Structures are given as structure tokens and as C-alpha cells.
A and B are shown apart, each in its own frame.
Chain A
Amino acid sequence: MKIRVYTILTLVVLFVQVFVLNNLSISPFVAPMVYIVLILMLPIELSQWMMLVTGLIVGAVMDLTMGTAGLNTLVTLPIAFFRRPLLYSLTGLSPMSKEEGIPSVKRLGMRFHRYIIAIIVIHSVLFYFVEWLSFDNFGTLLLRIIFSTLCSLVLDYIIIMLFMRRLSA
């Protein structure tokens, strides 16, 4: 049952990212990334191996559709690998606790938002910084990071709200 919801979530995110956001020609400052939500919503108890494999697949698929040879993989892998420690430290969840299921407000309280926002911001900043890889036009880079991160946050939250109840049921 859960697998089905995850599949739908994956398809929706892929559709939005590949067909809508990757071809967005509104402004050079708006290049939102929503696919990181796939990593964020993975069950808390998932093993490090599974996290790493998911991160690799998500990153590689994004690289293939965007033509960026490795950029998405190299920023998604650390997020997937460090999600567990980040989740514990940002939400105050004890590593000893037997909490299972997807991260949600019900399970983690208001600190859930801290977890979501922090990881999306880390991912965005890392992505645009590596893509730019220089301090020329630092102002432009900064504007790009700010606007794109805000857009990503809004879109990610919409997706999270849509799927939260079904996934945590």
C-alpha cells in the first residue's frame, strides 16, 4: 500500500521536475529543485545502504534529464548519506527511539519543519554553489540561491502537504 503511494509521489515529483521546472524560462534567478523531497520523505528507519542507493538513483536520473554530468548526484549523495544524523539532530529524535514511518509533524512535532527547511536550504545552496563554482558575480549567485530556494520550499511544501496523510497513514 505504502509502496503505491511512494510510486505515485515519485512519478509526480519526476513529472514536475523534468517537464515543468527543468524547462522553466521565467527568469535566470528561478530554477527550483523539488526532487530532494523524495529523499526527505523516506521512512526514518531506512538503512544507510538504502538511503545511499536511493540518493544515487535520484541524483543519476536528474543528471540524465538535465544533462548535468554528475552535478545532481554529487549534491544529492551527501544529503542522503547524512540524512539520518541530520534528522536526529534537527528534530531532537533520539537514535535509540524506535520511531518508524515517514517523518511528519505528528511524529516529530514542530521540529519537523526545521528538518524540512534545513535540508532543502542545504541542498539548494550546495547545488547552485557547485554549479557556479566561482565568486564572480557573487550578487547574481546569491539572488539565484535566494529566489530558487524560496520557490523550491513552496513547491516542496505543497507536495509534502498533498502526500503527508497518505504516506503516514
Chain B
Amino acid sequence: MQKLIYFIRKSSVAIVFIILEIIAIRSYAYSTPYTQARILIWSNSIVGSFYSAFAGASNYFALRKENMRLTEYIAQLENRIRALETVVPEEKLAVNDVLRKYEYLSAKVIASTINRNRNFITINKGFSDGVSADMAVMTPEGYAVGVVVDCSENYAVAKTLLNVDFRIGGMLAEDGSHGSVVWSGGDTQIIDFVELSKYAKVKEGDLVCAAGFSHYFPNKAIIGNVEHAELANNGTSYNCKVRLAADMGRLFNVVLVRNTGAGEAKALEDSVRK
């Protein structure tokens, strides 16, 4: 008995070390994008205001370029509206709440990573501004960036397309063939577009956009252009490398999009699955 107590006393540090190590390994192994977002949200409640200050400083240097981009984009939109007005009479263009399927909200990115294999961005708006989980995050030009995972009162954390745990439905803009968009790590400008039917007419430069059934992004939100396509899985499907349209390393302003019909569609899908 004395020997046992002596042994425990002598090796107690080692025992505690092993226990702590096992707890850490377990907690990391069972972590999901949601736990990670939860932790980030929590730590942001402490350091979020510092992040905002830093983001403000770095945004300042990018302001000119960002302004130019936005002005150009506004001009493009103006042109489209004018073109539409010539075709559709103005009274029919009035916003109809039933038809308005998407709600838009602008926000600023205050912290982001691209150098991990699960990348997140932190946004300076939270549920007090009307942000909720599952909202799509896009660049002002309409390029897909990611999806909000969790939010606090003033901040939201979104997983970006550069997150190996994130998979969305994609489709070829031209012929509408569907596949899955998923990141395999490494290059931050290239994302994989896999499980594309072998009958799809895919060629270099083809536009890949979010499929309507993914519920997150508005239909045809642009993901990128096909850079390289090859038959895989014994020739049963195409695996494509897609160059991302959004520059993930340089996100300053983003647009959050809520699909107001998504909740209903999801609830229906879940009820069918039961």
C-alpha cells in the first residue's frame, strides 16, 4: 500500500499530463465547424473590438482599390437595370414581398484566415443586425465566399469555401450539370468540383456556380471558372479544378444573403426524410 502511494505521488505529474493530453485529443477529434465557430464567437466577445481596430487600419490602405471596384460594380448594375427597364415596364419591377426570395445585408470582415485547412472569417455584424446562421456570405460582386455558422450579438463567424469540412452543390452554368464543390487544402485559389457527370460538356474556362438546391447561395452565385477537368473514378465522373472568383485573402466588404424560403424548403425535406 505504501509503495502504491509512493508510486502515485512520484508519477502524478505524468498521470495528469496523460489525462490532459487525452482530453485535448478527444476534444479536437470531436470538434466540428460549429464548435470552432462557437469558440471564435466566444473569444471575439473579448478581442473583437481589437480586431475591428486592426481591420480598420488594414482596410484603410485597401480603401482606394476597394472603392474603385465597388463603383465599377455599381455602374454595371445601373446598366443592367436600365436594360431591364426597357424590356419590363416600371410598375412591374416594384418589389413584391412574395417574389422577394433573398434578403441582403452588407458587412465588413474583421478577421480571416486562409492558411489553415479549416478557414473562417469573422464579420462585424451579429444577430442584433439581423444576421443568422446559414446565411450566405458573398463578395459585393456576387461571388460565393462562405456560409455563416454561428453569431453573437455583434459578430458572426462564417466558414469559407476554403474549409475542408464544407461541401456545397455546384453546377456548370452552361449546361446545368451538377456536382459537389469541396476544398482539399493547399492552394487558396483552387477548389475542387467533383462528381460531375461524365456526360457534362465541360471545358476550360466554363463558369461554375452554386446550385439552387444548396439553399445557401442565391441561384447561380458564381464560384469560379474551370481550369482543368479530367475523368476520374474509372471514367464515371469528372473531377475539375476550379479557380475561385472571390479573392479569399483580400476580403474587406461582404454581402450577407438570407434565403427566406430556405427554412420552409429544409423543413419539408427533413419531413420527407423521416
Contacts and interface: CB of A to CB of B under 8 A. Distances in A.
Interface string A56-96: 10010001111111110110011001000000000000000
A100 interface: no
22 contacts: A18-B47, A19-B47, A19-B50, A23-B54, A25-B248, A25-B249, A26-B249, A27-B188, A49-B13, A59-B24, A63-B39, A66-B116, A67-B120, A69-B36, A69-B39, A70-B28, A70-B31, A77-B20, A78-B17, A81-B17, A132-B185, A136-B184
A81 B47 CA distance: 29
B236 interface: no
A69 B31 contact: yes
B136 interface: no
Contacts of A132: 117, 185
Given A22-B111, A71-B28, 10 more contacts: A19-B50, A22-B113, A65-B43, A67-B36, A67-B37, A68-B28, A73-B20, A136-B184, A137-B186, A140-B187
Given A23-B54, A70-B24, A64 B115 contact: no
Contacts, number: 105
B124 to A, nearest CB: 14
B186 A25 contact: no
A28 B186 contact: yes
B184 A52 contact: no
A52 B117 contact: no
A52 B17 CA distance: 7
A45 interface: no
B25 A24 contact: no
A74 B24 contact: yes
A29 interface: yes
Number of chain B interface residues as a range: 35 or more
B43 A67 contact: yes
B101 interface: no
Contact of A23 (B29, B31, B37, B113): B113
Interface of B: 13-14, 16-17, 20-21, 23-31, 35-37, 39-40, 42-43, 47, 50-51, 54, 111-117, 120, 157, 184-188, 248-250
A120 interface: no
A64 B189 CA distance: 28
A144 to B, nearest CB: 8
Contacts of A136: 184-185
Given A23-B113, A70-B27, A28 B188 contact: yes
A56 B17 CA distance: 9
A99 interface: no
A78 B21 contact: yes
A140 B27 contact: no
B250 A69 contact: no
B28 to A, nearest CB: 3
A31 interface: yes
A24 B249 CA distance: 9
A67 B40 contact: yes
Given A25-B249, A67-B36, A67-B120, A77 B185 contact: no
A28 B187 contact: yes
A71 B186 CA distance: 19
Nearest to B249: A25
